[in-house]
Amino acid sequence: MSFLNGLFGRKRDSSAELAKQRLLTVLIDDRYKLTPEMMAQMKADLAEVLKRYLPAIDADQIEVTLSRGEAHDLLKADVPLRRATDQSSHR
């Protein structure tokens, strides 16, 4: 079943996908009392600190996610760095 699900994919705007994304936000809020506003503020603060060391950081591109794990939950920040050589040719 999951093989077929993978094969055909689930539409990103399906109600199940929407439910899952909403629940992710709600569960994080329930467990960590981290509101979307606080999350946005954390991203901004994070960008500010990181920029002191890495000027190539693009603050708008930082993605912070919380995910669930068996033993512990995980806070993950994806911080894209502009490459000096190819920053104009890519995207």
The site for other proteins (CB under 8 A) is made up of 1-2, 4-5, 8, 10-11, 14-17, 19-20, 22-24, 26-27, 30-31, 68-70, 73
> Quick one: 10 or 83, whose CB is closer to other proteins?
10
Least separation in angstroms between CB 43 and other proteins: 23
| Structure tokens given for 41 | 């503020």
| Closer to other proteins by Cβ: residue 20 or 51 | 20
Q: Which helix (H) or strand (E) holds 64?
A: strand 63-67
What type of residue is 40?
Answer: A
**d(C-alpha 88, C-alpha 82), whole Å:** 9
